[in-house]
Protein backbone atom coordinates (compact mmCIF):
# COMPACT_ATOMS: atom_id res chain seq x y z
CA UNK A 1 0.00 0.00 0.00
CA UNK A 2 2.73 2.40 1.09
CA UNK A 3 4.87 1.38 -1.88
CA UNK A 4 2.15 2.11 -4.40
CA UNK A 5 1.54 5.53 -2.79
CA UNK A 6 5.27 6.28 -3.01
CA UNK A 7 5.27 5.28 -6.69
CA UNK A 8 2.34 7.60 -7.34
CA UNK A 9 4.08 10.53 -5.61
CA UNK A 10 7.33 9.83 -7.43
CA UNK A 11 5.52 9.74 -10.81
CA UNK A 12 3.77 13.04 -10.09
CA UNK A 13 6.98 14.69 -8.88
CA UNK A 14 8.78 13.39 -11.95
CA UNK A 15 6.07 14.76 -14.28
CA UNK A 16 6.07 18.17 -12.57
CA UNK A 17 9.73 18.84 -11.99
CA UNK A 18 11.69 16.81 -14.52
CA UNK A 19 13.12 18.73 -17.47
CA UNK A 20 14.10 16.73 -20.56
CA UNK A 21 17.10 17.71 -22.70
CA UNK A 22 15.30 20.28 -24.86
CA UNK A 23 12.96 21.70 -22.19
CA UNK A 24 13.99 25.06 -20.78
CA UNK A 25 11.26 25.30 -18.13
CA UNK A 26 9.75 22.75 -15.76
CA UNK A 27 6.01 22.11 -15.81
CA UNK A 28 5.72 23.29 -12.21
CA UNK A 29 7.29 26.67 -13.02
CA UNK A 30 5.00 27.21 -16.03
CA UNK A 31 1.85 26.23 -14.10
CA UNK A 32 2.76 28.77 -11.39
CA UNK A 33 3.41 31.36 -14.12
CA UNK A 34 -0.03 30.66 -15.66
CA UNK A 35 -1.78 31.03 -12.29
CA UNK A 36 0.11 34.30 -11.72
CA UNK A 37 -0.94 35.57 -15.17
CA UNK A 38 -4.62 34.73 -14.52
CA UNK A 39 -4.51 36.41 -11.09
CA UNK A 40 -2.84 39.58 -12.40
CA UNK A 41 -5.31 39.71 -15.31
CA UNK A 42 -8.23 39.37 -12.89
CA UNK A 43 -6.88 42.05 -10.51
CA UNK A 44 -6.57 44.52 -13.44
CA UNK A 45 -3.47 46.25 -12.07
CA UNK A 46 -2.72 49.39 -14.23
CA UNK A 47 0.64 48.13 -15.56
CA UNK A 48 -0.96 44.77 -16.46
CA UNK A 49 -3.75 46.54 -18.34
CA UNK A 50 -1.30 48.52 -20.46
CA UNK A 51 0.85 45.42 -21.03
CA UNK A 52 -2.25 43.48 -22.08
CA UNK A 53 -3.26 46.29 -24.49
CA UNK A 54 0.18 46.18 -26.16
CA UNK A 55 0.08 42.36 -26.27
CA UNK A 56 -3.45 42.44 -27.73
CA UNK A 57 -2.41 44.88 -30.47
CA UNK A 58 0.64 42.79 -31.36
CA UNK A 59 -1.22 39.45 -31.40
CA UNK A 60 -4.15 40.89 -33.39
CA UNK A 61 -1.81 42.27 -36.06
CA UNK A 62 -0.01 38.90 -36.36
CA UNK A 63 -3.36 37.09 -36.40
CA UNK A 64 -4.52 39.27 -39.31
CA UNK A 65 -1.45 38.22 -41.31
CA UNK A 66 -1.82 34.55 -40.28
CA UNK A 67 -5.47 34.48 -41.37
CA UNK A 68 -4.79 36.15 -44.72
CA UNK A 69 -4.19 33.01 -46.87
CA UNK A 70 -7.45 31.31 -45.84
CA UNK A 71 -9.35 34.59 -46.18
CA UNK A 72 -7.97 34.94 -49.71
CA UNK A 73 -9.15 31.44 -50.67
CA UNK A 74 -12.65 32.09 -49.24
CA UNK A 75 -12.73 35.47 -51.01
CA UNK A 76 -11.83 33.86 -54.35
CA UNK A 77 -14.56 31.19 -53.89
CA UNK A 78 -17.14 33.88 -53.05
CA UNK A 79 -16.12 36.10 -55.95
CA UNK A 80 -16.33 33.14 -58.35
CA UNK A 81 -19.81 32.32 -57.13
CA UNK A 82 -20.88 35.97 -57.38
CA UNK A 83 -19.75 36.19 -61.01
CA UNK A 84 -21.77 33.11 -61.91
CA UNK A 85 -24.94 34.53 -60.37
CA UNK A 86 -24.63 38.14 -61.54
CA UNK A 87 -27.52 38.25 -64.07
CA UNK A 88 -30.01 36.63 -61.74
CA UNK A 89 -28.93 38.78 -58.83
CA UNK A 90 -29.22 41.92 -60.93
CA UNK A 91 -32.90 41.24 -61.66
CA UNK A 92 -33.62 40.68 -57.98
CA UNK A 93 -31.70 43.81 -57.01
CA UNK A 94 -33.65 46.00 -59.45
CA UNK A 95 -36.90 44.73 -57.98
CA UNK A 96 -35.63 45.27 -54.44
CA UNK A 97 -34.43 48.77 -55.29
CA UNK A 98 -37.87 49.78 -56.54
CA UNK A 99 -39.42 48.45 -53.37
CA UNK A 100 -36.83 50.18 -51.19
CA UNK A 101 -37.36 53.50 -52.98
CA UNK A 102 -41.05 53.23 -52.23
CA UNK A 103 -40.35 52.28 -48.57
CA UNK A 104 -37.83 55.09 -48.20
CA UNK A 105 -40.30 57.72 -49.35
CA UNK A 106 -42.87 56.24 -47.03
CA UNK A 107 -40.43 56.26 -44.07
CA UNK A 108 -39.55 59.91 -44.73
CA UNK A 109 -43.19 60.74 -44.26
CA UNK A 110 -43.41 58.67 -41.05
CA UNK A 111 -40.23 60.30 -39.74
CA UNK A 112 -41.63 63.78 -40.19
CA UNK A 113 -44.93 62.74 -38.69
CA UNK A 114 -43.13 61.06 -35.75
CA UNK A 115 -41.06 64.17 -35.02
CA UNK A 116 -44.18 66.30 -35.10
CA UNK A 117 -46.08 63.93 -32.79
CA UNK A 118 -43.20 63.67 -30.33
CA UNK A 119 -42.97 67.42 -30.19
CA UNK A 120 -46.71 67.58 -29.59
CA UNK A 121 -46.48 64.95 -26.80
CA UNK A 122 -43.27 66.49 -25.39
CA UNK A 123 -41.38 63.17 -25.34
CA UNK A 124 -37.61 62.70 -24.71
CA UNK A 125 -34.75 62.30 -27.13
CA UNK A 126 -34.43 59.45 -29.58
CA UNK A 127 -31.70 58.25 -31.88
CA UNK A 128 -30.84 61.22 -34.07
CA UNK A 129 -28.95 60.49 -37.29
CA UNK A 130 -28.00 64.10 -37.87
CA UNK A 131 -26.33 64.70 -34.49
CA UNK A 132 -22.63 65.57 -34.59
CA UNK A 133 -21.33 62.88 -32.22
CA UNK A 134 -18.08 61.04 -32.73
CA UNK A 135 -18.27 58.64 -35.67
CA UNK A 136 -15.42 56.29 -36.48
CA UNK A 137 -15.47 54.10 -39.57
CA UNK A 138 -13.67 50.84 -38.88
CA UNK A 139 -12.86 47.64 -40.72
CA UNK A 140 -13.38 44.18 -39.20
CA UNK A 141 -9.98 42.56 -39.06
CA UNK A 142 -10.71 39.32 -37.22
CA UNK A 143 -13.81 37.29 -36.55
CA UNK A 144 -12.76 34.38 -34.35
CA UNK A 145 -15.20 31.53 -34.29
CA UNK A 146 -15.30 30.89 -30.55
CA UNK A 147 -17.83 29.00 -28.42
CA UNK A 148 -17.25 31.45 -25.55
CA UNK A 149 -17.56 34.89 -27.07
CA UNK A 150 -19.34 36.05 -30.23
CA UNK A 151 -17.20 39.05 -31.00
CA UNK A 152 -15.01 40.57 -33.68
CA UNK A 153 -12.02 42.85 -33.79
CA UNK A 154 -11.90 46.21 -35.54
CA UNK A 155 -8.86 48.12 -36.75
CA UNK A 156 -9.58 51.26 -34.72
CA UNK A 157 -8.74 51.75 -31.04
CA UNK A 158 -8.17 54.47 -28.47
CA UNK A 159 -5.92 56.30 -30.95
CA UNK A 160 -9.04 56.97 -33.07
CA UNK A 161 -11.25 57.77 -30.09
CA UNK A 162 -12.86 54.34 -29.69
CA UNK A 163 -13.62 53.64 -26.03
CA UNK A 164 -15.46 50.89 -24.12
CA UNK A 165 -19.25 51.05 -24.35
CA UNK A 166 -19.49 52.76 -27.76
CA UNK A 167 -22.19 51.41 -30.02
CA UNK A 168 -21.33 49.76 -33.31
CA UNK A 169 -23.53 49.85 -36.40
CA UNK A 170 -23.40 47.92 -39.63
CA UNK A 171 -25.41 49.46 -42.46
CA UNK A 172 -27.35 51.61 -39.95
CA UNK A 173 -28.36 48.59 -37.85
CA UNK A 174 -27.08 47.95 -34.33
CA UNK A 175 -24.54 45.11 -34.40
CA UNK A 176 -22.85 45.34 -30.99
CA UNK A 177 -20.92 47.36 -28.42
CA UNK A 178 -17.22 47.89 -27.78
CA UNK A 179 -16.09 45.82 -24.77
CA UNK A 180 -12.32 46.12 -25.04
CA UNK A 181 -10.36 49.02 -26.53
CA UNK A 182 -6.64 48.84 -27.14
CA UNK A 183 -4.44 51.54 -28.66
CA UNK A 184 -4.82 50.36 -32.27
CA UNK A 185 -7.64 47.80 -32.11
CA UNK A 186 -10.90 47.13 -30.28
CA UNK A 187 -13.16 44.13 -29.59
CA UNK A 188 -16.89 44.37 -30.33
CA UNK A 189 -19.39 42.13 -28.50
CA UNK A 190 -22.11 41.10 -30.94
CA UNK A 191 -25.83 41.31 -30.19
CA UNK A 192 -25.90 37.55 -30.88
CA UNK A 193 -23.59 36.78 -27.96
CA UNK A 194 -25.03 34.96 -24.96
CA UNK A 195 -23.93 37.85 -22.72
CA UNK A 196 -25.80 40.50 -24.76
CA UNK A 197 -29.09 41.79 -23.24
CA UNK A 198 -30.93 44.70 -24.88
CA UNK A 199 -34.26 46.19 -23.75
CA UNK A 200 -36.43 46.36 -26.85
CA UNK A 201 -39.87 47.31 -28.11
CA UNK A 202 -41.75 45.45 -30.85
CA UNK A 203 -42.97 47.21 -33.99
CA UNK A 204 -46.70 47.86 -34.04
CA UNK A 205 -47.48 46.02 -30.80
CA UNK A 206 -45.54 48.39 -28.53
CA UNK A 207 -44.66 45.40 -26.34
CA UNK A 208 -41.49 45.65 -24.23
CA UNK A 209 -39.06 42.73 -23.86
CA UNK A 210 -35.39 41.86 -23.44
CA UNK A 211 -33.53 40.72 -26.55
CA UNK A 212 -30.80 38.22 -25.71
CA UNK A 213 -28.21 36.55 -27.86
CA UNK A 214 -28.28 32.81 -28.18
CA UNK A 215 -24.56 32.34 -28.71
CA UNK A 216 -25.29 31.12 -32.26
CA UNK A 217 -24.27 33.02 -35.38
CA UNK A 218 -27.66 34.58 -36.11
CA UNK A 219 -30.04 33.41 -33.40
CA UNK A 220 -31.70 35.79 -30.93
CA UNK A 221 -34.42 35.33 -28.32
CA UNK A 222 -36.98 37.53 -26.61
CA UNK A 223 -37.38 37.27 -22.85
CA UNK A 224 -40.02 38.69 -20.51
CA UNK A 225 -42.75 38.86 -23.16
CA UNK A 226 -46.32 39.17 -21.83
CA UNK A 227 -48.09 35.86 -21.15
CA UNK A 228 -49.88 34.32 -24.16
CA UNK A 229 -48.25 36.81 -26.50
CA UNK A 230 -47.52 35.35 -29.93
CA UNK A 231 -44.91 36.76 -32.23
CA UNK A 232 -45.77 37.59 -35.83
CA UNK A 233 -43.24 37.19 -38.63
CA UNK A 234 -41.65 40.28 -40.27
CA UNK A 235 -41.86 42.37 -37.10
CA UNK A 236 -39.04 44.87 -36.62
CA UNK A 237 -37.56 45.05 -33.11
CA UNK A 238 -36.25 48.42 -31.88
CA UNK A 239 -34.22 49.35 -28.80
CA UNK A 240 -36.52 50.84 -26.17
CA UNK A 241 -33.83 52.85 -24.37
CA UNK A 242 -35.15 51.70 -20.98
CA UNK A 243 -31.68 50.74 -19.79
CA UNK A 244 -30.65 54.39 -20.00
CA UNK A 245 -27.64 53.29 -22.02
CA UNK A 246 -28.80 52.84 -25.61
CA UNK A 247 -31.08 55.39 -27.23
CA UNK A 248 -34.57 54.34 -28.23
CA UNK A 249 -35.52 53.61 -31.82
CA UNK A 250 -32.38 51.76 -32.97
CA UNK A 251 -33.32 48.98 -35.37
CA UNK A 252 -31.89 45.79 -33.92
CA UNK A 253 -33.61 42.66 -35.19
CA UNK A 254 -36.58 41.19 -37.07
CA UNK A 255 -38.77 38.13 -36.79
CA UNK A 256 -39.04 35.62 -39.63
CA UNK A 257 -40.27 32.13 -40.42
CA UNK A 258 -37.44 29.61 -40.32
CA UNK A 259 -37.09 26.36 -42.30
CA UNK A 260 -39.30 24.50 -39.81
CA UNK A 261 -42.00 27.18 -40.21
CA UNK A 262 -41.40 28.45 -36.68
CA UNK A 263 -40.99 32.10 -35.79
CA UNK A 264 -37.37 32.98 -35.15
CA UNK A 265 -35.47 36.20 -34.58
CA UNK A 266 -32.38 37.35 -36.44
CA UNK A 267 -30.33 40.54 -36.19
CA UNK A 268 -30.86 43.06 -38.98
CA UNK A 269 -27.11 43.47 -39.26
CA UNK A 270 -25.61 40.17 -40.39
CA UNK A 271 -22.33 39.71 -38.46
CA UNK A 272 -21.13 37.21 -41.07
CA UNK A 273 -21.50 39.75 -43.89
CA UNK A 274 -20.28 42.86 -42.05
CA UNK A 275 -16.95 44.19 -43.26
CA UNK A 276 -17.08 47.91 -42.49
CA UNK A 277 -18.75 49.15 -39.30
CA UNK A 278 -19.48 52.54 -37.76
CA UNK A 279 -18.43 53.03 -34.16
CA UNK A 280 -20.22 55.92 -32.55
CA UNK A 281 -21.54 57.56 -29.39
CA UNK A 282 -24.70 58.66 -31.16
CA UNK A 283 -26.73 55.65 -30.07
CA UNK A 284 -26.40 56.71 -26.43
CA UNK A 285 -29.02 58.30 -24.24
CA UNK A 286 -26.70 61.18 -23.35
CA UNK B 1 17.21 27.49 -53.19
CA UNK B 2 19.29 27.30 -50.04
CA UNK B 3 16.82 29.53 -48.23
CA UNK B 4 13.95 27.29 -49.30
CA UNK B 5 15.81 24.23 -48.04
CA UNK B 6 16.45 25.99 -44.73
CA UNK B 7 12.77 26.94 -44.42
CA UNK B 8 11.76 23.35 -45.22
CA UNK B 9 14.20 21.99 -42.64
CA UNK B 10 12.92 24.47 -40.05
CA UNK B 11 9.29 23.52 -40.66
CA UNK B 12 10.02 19.78 -40.52
CA UNK B 13 12.09 20.15 -37.33
CA UNK B 14 9.48 22.33 -35.65
CA UNK B 15 6.22 21.03 -37.15
CA UNK B 16 4.25 20.73 -33.87
CA UNK B 17 5.37 24.20 -32.77
CA UNK B 18 4.49 25.71 -36.16
CA UNK B 19 1.03 24.08 -36.13
CA UNK B 20 0.44 25.10 -32.51
CA UNK B 21 1.21 28.77 -33.12
CA UNK B 22 -0.65 28.81 -36.46
CA UNK B 23 -3.75 27.39 -34.77
CA UNK B 24 -3.48 29.95 -31.98
CA UNK B 25 -3.09 32.91 -34.30
CA UNK B 26 -5.61 31.66 -36.82
CA UNK B 27 -9.21 32.79 -36.56
CA UNK B 28 -10.89 30.29 -38.94
CA UNK B 29 -13.52 32.90 -39.84
CA UNK B 30 -13.76 31.39 -43.33
CA UNK B 31 -15.33 28.30 -41.73
CA UNK B 32 -18.37 30.37 -40.68
CA UNK B 33 -19.60 29.99 -44.25
CA UNK B 34 -19.77 26.23 -43.83
CA UNK B 35 -21.96 25.62 -40.75
CA UNK B 36 -22.25 21.89 -41.51
CA UNK B 37 -18.49 21.45 -41.08
CA UNK B 38 -18.52 23.43 -37.82
CA UNK B 39 -20.58 20.63 -36.23
CA UNK B 40 -17.40 18.52 -36.30
CA UNK B 41 -15.25 21.18 -34.56
CA UNK B 42 -12.48 19.73 -32.43
CA UNK B 43 -9.49 21.00 -30.48
CA UNK B 44 -6.36 20.19 -32.48
CA UNK B 45 -4.22 22.00 -29.89
CA UNK B 46 -5.02 19.31 -27.34
CA UNK B 47 -4.39 16.44 -29.77
CA UNK B 48 -0.96 17.87 -30.72
CA UNK B 49 0.03 18.54 -27.10
CA UNK B 50 -1.10 15.10 -25.92
CA UNK B 51 0.56 13.26 -28.81
CA UNK B 52 3.89 15.09 -28.77
CA UNK B 53 4.31 15.23 -24.98
CA UNK B 54 3.53 11.51 -24.90
CA UNK B 55 5.57 10.30 -27.87
CA UNK B 56 8.11 12.96 -28.87
CA UNK B 57 8.54 15.48 -26.02
CA UNK B 58 11.83 16.68 -27.51
CA UNK B 59 9.91 18.29 -30.42
CA UNK B 60 7.47 20.35 -28.35
CA UNK B 61 8.78 22.60 -25.57
CA UNK B 62 6.56 23.40 -22.60
CA UNK B 63 7.42 27.09 -22.98
CA UNK B 64 5.90 27.01 -26.48
CA UNK B 65 2.75 25.36 -25.10
CA UNK B 66 2.46 28.17 -22.53
CA UNK B 67 3.01 30.92 -25.13
CA UNK B 68 0.59 29.35 -27.64
CA UNK B 69 -2.02 29.30 -24.87
CA UNK B 70 -1.46 32.99 -24.11
CA UNK B 71 -1.83 33.85 -27.83
CA UNK B 72 -5.01 31.76 -28.02
CA UNK B 73 -6.47 33.61 -25.01
CA UNK B 74 -5.76 36.99 -26.58
CA UNK B 75 -7.31 36.02 -29.93
CA UNK B 76 -10.39 34.37 -28.38
CA UNK B 77 -10.82 37.11 -25.74
CA UNK B 78 -10.85 35.05 -22.56
CA UNK B 79 -8.83 35.74 -19.36
CA UNK B 80 -5.10 35.65 -20.03
CA UNK B 81 -3.48 32.36 -18.99
CA UNK B 82 -6.65 30.22 -19.14
CA UNK B 83 -5.66 28.15 -22.18
CA UNK B 84 -2.03 28.03 -20.99
CA UNK B 85 -3.00 26.49 -17.67
CA UNK B 86 -5.42 24.11 -19.37
CA UNK B 87 -2.74 22.96 -21.84
CA UNK B 88 -0.16 22.62 -19.05
CA UNK B 89 -2.55 20.50 -17.00
CA UNK B 90 -2.97 18.33 -20.09
CA UNK B 91 0.84 18.14 -20.41
CA UNK B 92 1.12 17.21 -16.73
CA UNK B 93 -1.37 14.34 -17.09
CA UNK B 94 0.31 13.22 -20.27
CA UNK B 95 3.72 13.16 -18.55
CA UNK B 96 2.21 11.18 -15.69
CA UNK B 97 0.60 8.70 -18.11
CA UNK B 98 3.91 8.39 -19.95
CA UNK B 99 5.74 7.57 -16.71
CA UNK B 100 3.07 5.18 -15.46
CA UNK B 101 2.61 3.23 -18.72
CA UNK B 102 4.81 0.19 -19.24
CA UNK B 103 3.72 -1.02 -22.68
CA UNK B 104 2.44 1.80 -24.88
CA UNK B 105 -0.29 0.99 -27.40
CA UNK B 106 -2.42 3.34 -29.44
CA UNK B 107 -5.67 2.05 -27.91
CA UNK B 108 -4.46 2.51 -24.32
CA UNK B 109 -3.17 5.98 -25.16
CA UNK B 110 -6.51 6.78 -26.77
CA UNK B 111 -8.39 5.72 -23.62
CA UNK B 112 -6.04 7.62 -21.29
CA UNK B 113 -6.76 10.71 -23.41
CA UNK B 114 -10.22 10.81 -21.70
CA UNK B 115 -9.02 11.67 -18.14
CA UNK B 116 -6.41 14.03 -19.58
CA UNK B 117 -9.11 15.86 -21.56
CA UNK B 118 -11.45 15.83 -18.57
CA UNK B 119 -9.00 17.47 -16.15
CA UNK B 120 -7.77 19.93 -18.76
CA UNK B 121 -11.35 21.05 -19.56
CA UNK B 122 -12.24 21.09 -15.86
CA UNK B 123 -9.48 23.64 -15.20
CA UNK B 124 -10.76 25.61 -18.20
CA UNK B 125 -14.35 25.71 -16.89
CA UNK B 126 -13.28 26.63 -13.37
CA UNK B 127 -11.23 29.59 -14.60
CA UNK B 128 -13.89 30.82 -17.07
CA UNK B 129 -16.61 30.57 -14.41
CA UNK B 130 -14.63 32.20 -11.61
CA UNK B 131 -12.39 34.69 -13.39
CA UNK B 132 -14.70 36.03 -16.12
CA UNK B 133 -18.33 36.93 -16.73
CA UNK B 134 -18.59 34.83 -19.88
CA UNK B 135 -21.46 32.43 -20.45
CA UNK B 136 -21.26 29.54 -22.84
CA UNK B 137 -23.03 26.37 -23.87
CA UNK B 138 -21.63 23.39 -21.97
CA UNK B 139 -23.14 21.03 -24.54
CA UNK B 140 -21.16 22.69 -27.33
CA UNK B 141 -17.93 22.26 -25.39
CA UNK B 142 -18.83 18.66 -24.65
CA UNK B 143 -19.33 18.14 -28.39
CA UNK B 144 -15.92 19.69 -29.19
CA UNK B 145 -14.27 17.51 -26.53
CA UNK B 146 -16.01 14.42 -27.87
CA UNK B 147 -14.77 15.06 -31.42
CA UNK B 148 -11.28 15.83 -30.07
CA UNK B 149 -11.28 12.38 -28.49
CA UNK B 150 -12.82 10.76 -31.59
CA UNK B 151 -10.33 12.23 -34.07
CA UNK B 152 -7.28 11.40 -31.95
CA UNK B 153 -6.42 8.07 -33.71
CA UNK B 154 -6.51 9.77 -37.11
CA UNK B 155 -3.96 12.39 -36.06
CA UNK B 156 -2.02 9.74 -34.13
CA UNK B 157 -1.46 7.87 -37.40
CA UNK B 158 -0.67 11.07 -39.34
CA UNK B 159 1.86 12.41 -36.81
CA UNK B 160 3.42 8.97 -36.19
CA UNK B 161 3.97 8.46 -39.91
CA UNK B 162 5.32 11.98 -40.29
CA UNK B 163 7.83 11.41 -37.50
CA UNK B 164 8.81 8.02 -38.98
CA UNK B 165 9.49 9.59 -42.40
CA UNK B 166 11.25 12.56 -40.82
CA UNK B 167 13.48 10.35 -38.66
CA UNK B 168 14.32 8.17 -41.68
CA UNK B 169 15.31 11.28 -43.68
CA UNK B 170 17.45 12.47 -40.79
CA UNK B 171 19.27 9.14 -40.61
CA UNK B 172 19.97 9.24 -44.37
Give ipTM to 2 decimals. 0.84
How confident is the model at residue A284, as a pLDDT?
46
A11–B134: do the CB atoms touch at under 8 Å?
Answer: no
Contacts of A37 in chain B (CB under 8 A): 70, 80-81, 84
The answer to whether residue A169 is domain-embedded is: yes
A22–B69: do the CB atoms touch at under 8 Å?
Answer: no
Please name which of A180, A234, A167, A219 lies closest in space to residue A49, comparing C-alpha atoms: A180
How confident is the model at residue A286, as a pLDDT?
40
Helix, coil or strand: residue A284: strand
CA B159, CA A245: separation in Å to the nearest integer? Answer: 53
pLDDT band at residue A7 using 50, 70 and 90 as cut-offs: confident
How confident is the model at residue B170, as a pLDDT?
65
CA B65, CA A26: separation in Å to the nearest integer? Answer: 12
Q: Which of B31, B62, B87, B93 to mutate to test the interface with A (most CBs of A within 10 A)?
A: B62
**Inter-residue long-range contacts of A48-57, CB under 8 Å, 24+ positions, other chains counted:** A52/B80, A53/A182, A53/A183, A54/A182, A54/A183, A55/B70, A55/B74, A55/B80, A56/A180, A56/A182, A56/A185, A56/B74, A57/A157, A57/A182, A57/A183, A57/A184, A57/A185
Please name which of B153, B94, B151 lies closest in space to residue B120, comparing C-alpha atoms: B94
Question: CA end-to-end span of chain A, whole Å?
Answer: 71
The answer to whether residue A60 is domain-embedded is: no
CA A184, CA A56: separation in Å to the nearest integer? Answer: 9
- B142-164 burial, b for 16+ CB within 10 Å, e for fewer? ebbbeebbeebeebbeebeeebe
Q: Using one digit for the tens of pLDDT, what is the confidence trace for A105-135?
A: 778 778 777 777 777 776 554 444 455 567 7
What is the pTM (predicted TM-score) of this model? 0.69
Contacts of B59 in chain A (CB under 8 A): 22
User: From residue A60, how far is each of A129, A181, B69, B152, B160 by CA, in Å?
Assistant: 32, 12, 15, 30, 33
Contacts of B31 in chain A (CB under 8 A): 145
Nearest CB to B30; choose among A11, A60, A71? A71
Residue A261's CATH number = 2.40.10.340
CA B67, CA A59: separation in Å to the nearest integer? Answer: 11
Q: Identify the helix (H) or strand (E) that includes residue B75.
A: helix B62-76
Helix, coil or strand: residue A192: coil
Domain hosting A203: range is 127-286
- Give the number of C-alpha atoms closer than 13 A to the C-alpha of residue A153, restricted to the C-beta side: 26
B29–A20: do the CB atoms touch at under 8 Å?
Answer: no
DSSP labels, B103-130: S--HHHHHHHHHHHHHHHHHHHHHHHHH
A42–B79: do the CB atoms touch at under 8 Å?
Answer: yes
Distance between A210 CA and the closest CA of chain B, angstroms: 17
The answer to whether residue A29 is domain-embedded is: no
Q: What is the pLDDT along chain B (172 residues), one digit of tens a residue?
A: 778 878 777 777 788 898 889 888 876 655 556 666 667 888 889 999 999 998 888 888 889 999 999 999 988 888 889 999 999 999 999 988 888 877 778 888 899 999 999 999 999 989 988 888 777 777 888 888 999 999 999 999 999 988 888 777 666 6
CA A141, CA B74: separation in Å to the nearest integer? Answer: 14
B27–A20: do the CB atoms touch at under 8 Å?
Answer: no
Q: Which of A50, A58, A146 to mutate to test the interface with B (most CBs of B within 10 A)?
A: A146
pLDDT band at residue A150 using 50, 70 and 90 as cut-offs: confident
The answer to whether residue A199 is domain-embedded is: yes
CA A83, CA A286: separation in Å to the nearest integer? Answer: 46
How confident is the model at residue B130, as a pLDDT?
86
Please name which of A169, A166, A170 lies closest in space to residue A181, comparing C-alpha atoms: A166
Contacts of B100 in chain A (CB under 8 A): 11
The answer to whether residue A71 is domain-embedded is: no
Domain total of chain A: 1
Q: Among all residues of chain A, which has the CA nearest to that of B31?
A: A145
The answer to whether residue A246 is domain-embedded is: yes
- The contacts of residue A193 (CB under 8 Å, 6+ apart) are A149, A150, A151, A176, A213, A215
Contacts of B99 in chain A (CB under 8 A): 11, 14-15
The answer to whether residue A95 is domain-embedded is: no
pLDDT band at residue A235 using 50, 70 and 90 as cut-offs: confident
CA A222, CA A217: separation in Å to the nearest integer? Answer: 16
Q: Among all residues of chain A, which has the CA nearest to that of B91?
A: A27
Q: Among all residues of chain A, which has the CA nearest to that of B143?
A: A147
Amino acid sequence: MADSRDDFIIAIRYALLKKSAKQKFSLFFLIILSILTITLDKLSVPFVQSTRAVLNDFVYEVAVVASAPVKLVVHVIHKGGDHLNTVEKNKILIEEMDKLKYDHNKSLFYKTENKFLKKALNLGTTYNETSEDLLVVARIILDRNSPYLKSFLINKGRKSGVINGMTVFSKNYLIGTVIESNYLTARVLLVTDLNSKIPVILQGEGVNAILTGSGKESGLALEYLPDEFTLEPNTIIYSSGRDGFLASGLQVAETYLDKKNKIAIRPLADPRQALIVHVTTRGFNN
Amino acid sequence: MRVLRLVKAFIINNLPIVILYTLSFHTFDGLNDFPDILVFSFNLHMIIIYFYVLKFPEYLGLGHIFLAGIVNDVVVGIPLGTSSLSYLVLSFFTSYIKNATIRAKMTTEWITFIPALFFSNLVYFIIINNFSHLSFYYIELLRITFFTFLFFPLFYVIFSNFQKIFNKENRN
